[in-house]
Copies of this chain bind each other. A is one copy, B any other.
Amino acid sequence: MLETIIITNALILLDSGQTLSSGFITLANGLIDRIGPMAELGEYPPEVQIIDGRDHLVMPGLVNCHNHCPMTLFRGLADDLPLMIWLQEHIFPAEARMVSAEMVYHCTMLAAAEMIRSGTTTVADSYFFEERVAQALADAGMRAVAAQGVIDFPAPGVPDPSKNVATAATFIDQWQGHPLITPAVFCHSPYTCSAETLIQAKEMARDKQCRFFIHVAETEEEVQNSIELHGKTPLGYLDQLGVLDDRTICIHGVWFKEEDLKLMQKTGAAVVTCPESNMKLASGVAPLTEMIKAGIPVGLGTDGCASNNNLDLFGEMDMAAKLHKVISRDPTTMPAVNMVTMATSGGAGALGLPTGRLAPGRAADVIMLDLSAPHLSPRYDIPSLLTYSASGGDVSHVIINGRLVMADRKLLTIDLQETIKQVNLLAQTIRATL
């Protein structure tokens, strides 16, 4: 049995978006058990761990629906460059030289440290050497969907592309049933995987009831190329191949057209929007309002550290809300409560995980924010405070699957100094070649 925790005297963000002041929440067996006003707490056994929630907000842990965790190594390596120069002259060569099982483990651990410290309890990762990503996230005590990369080129850990789908299948078999890690497959894109690979990978994923991730319509050029080559948008092409269903997760969708939104609706596929990455690379602005209006499941993602360059989902919520307001010239677009939903239960829904909500029976993935900071007063509206005023640095405690992994900003599952040391050693190798 996992440890039992009770948070007392806290301001609690309820499922409705409303708040309960001076409330309690009990966690047992990795699940949320009870939530209520302090008067109803009653007696509890002496061995229970009590966390004093005075002057703290309790809310669901955030769900980051798209990351390439090991890319923390490339944070700030090459910025403010045209996409193709960034990718082909900086990121790809650095990856070719640096990505190894060991690098993936340490750099994912750094990502986990950053995510936990900024209130993210669940991440969907897509990379190579995914078993090392999964191991690092499991060791850090994070909940994750870990998707092994598939691409029709020699890739880190998969030198022979003809084995890419088989490698992913093996990875999935090894991790299925893990209490924290849900394995999946990540086909890099419709333009770097052949039709055969895409079909095989999706069949394998269907067979194993796994999620299938793919970058789609990130740039305008990608859409133009697809139309020239296939007579269809990238999403239309994926639909033709039969890879879209309610376990398919399309990353970016920046250049989705109206016909694409209809395909998303029809097939039940989900989308992950990564506004900061799309802004920084100048890729464009996804039709987020239209996606939500169409009822498409939408999650929020940071993308990898090379194109963001941080993993703070609170900042992502703020930027997404403000970006879509100014683009639509409508300040009522993307209200704060929608952003909080997207970063919690919305993302959980897209990933198919029982997290992202404070409700009995849901996963005990809970974060606490210290409300004593000057920028968190006054408090007229909690979703507004979370979206526009708070940042990851306000998170004081993090509980994942009923286990306390950060207390008073101290990481309990990660040797942060050692992790930073290892990552900076790897960075030195890169720096020596700059």
Interface centre among A82, A283, A391, A427 (most CB of B within 10 A): A391
Interface centre among A83, A326, A372 (most CB of B within 10 A): A326
Interface string of A8-45 (1 = CB under 8 A from B): 00000000000000000000000000000000000000
Q: Is B81's CB under 8 angstroms from A312's CB?
A: no
The smallest beta-carbon distance between A202 and chain B, in angstroms, is 31
Q: Is A378's CB under 8 angstroms from B279's CB?
A: no
Q: Is B420's CB under 8 angstroms from A372's CB?
A: yes
| Measured CA separation A76–B118 after assembly (Å) | 21
A284 within 8 A of B: yes
Secondary structure at the A interface, as helix, strand, loop or mixed, is helix
Q: Which residue of chain B lies nearest to A322 when distances are taken between CB atoms in the complex?
A: B279
Contacts of A380 in B (CB 8 A): 75-77, 427, 430-431, 434
Q: Is A330's CB under 8 angstroms from B420's CB?
A: no
Partner of A374, one of B391, B420, B434: B420
Q: Contacts A77-B380, A279-B323, A336-B80 known; A375 to B312 CB distance under 8 Å?
A: yes
Interface string of A79-92 (1 = CB under 8 A from B): 11111001000000
Q: Which residue of chain B lies nearest to A382 when distances are taken between CB atoms in the complex?
A: B76
| Measured CA separation A278–B60 after assembly (Å) | 30
Q: Is A378's CB under 8 angstroms from B427's CB?
A: yes
Partner of A391, one of B326, B332, B381, B391: B391
Interface string of A309-330 (1 = CB under 8 A from B): 1111001001101110110111
Contacts of A319 in B (CB 8 A): 318-319, 322
Q: Is A322's CB under 8 angstroms from B276's CB?
A: yes
A389 within 8 A of B: yes
The smallest beta-carbon distance between A107 and chain B, in angstroms, is 9
A393 within 8 A of B: yes
| Measured CA separation A266–B387 after assembly (Å) | 41
Interface string of A405-425 (1 = CB under 8 A from B): 000000000001101100110
Contacts of A82 in B (CB 8 A): 330-332
Q: Is A377's CB under 8 angstroms from B282's CB?
A: no
Contacts of A379 in B (CB 8 A): 76, 427
In the complex, the count of this chain's copies comes to: 2
A308 within 8 A of B: yes
Partner of A329, one of B117, B282, B323, B372: B282
Contacts of A417 in B (CB 8 A): 372
Contacts of A310 in B (CB 8 A): 375, 388-389, 391
| Measured CA separation A117–B375 after assembly (Å) | 9
The smallest beta-carbon distance between A388 and chain B, in angstroms, is 4
| Measured CA separation A392–B76 after assembly (Å) | 18
Q: Is B75's CB under 8 angstroms from A378's CB?
A: yes
A238 within 8 A of B: no
A257 within 8 A of B: no
Q: Contacts A75-B378, A374-B114, A377-B110 known; A329 to B284 CB distance under 8 Å?
A: yes
11 additional contacts (CB under 8 A) given A76-B388, A309-B384: A77-B380, A80-B332, A114-B373, A117-B374, A279-B322, A279-B325, A282-B330, A323-B326, A374-B416, A378-B430, A391-B391
Where the two chains meet, the residues of A that have a C-beta atom closer than 8 Å to any C-beta of B are 72-73, 75-77, 79-83, 86, 110, 113-114, 117-118, 276, 278-285, 308-312, 315, 318-319, 321-323, 325-326, 328-336, 372-375, 377-381, 384-385, 388-389, 391-394, 416-417, 419-420, 423-424, 426-427, 430-431, 434
Q: Which 8 A-B pairs have the closest CB atoms?
A: A393-B393, A378-B427, A279-B322, A80-B335, A113-B374, A309-B388, A279-B326, A282-B331
A and B contact pairs by CB, cutoff 8 A, 16 listed? A80-B332, A80-B334, A80-B335, A81-B332, A86-B331, A110-B377, A114-B374, A117-B374, A280-B331, A282-B328, A282-B331, A319-B322, A323-B323, A372-B416, A378-B427, A378-B431
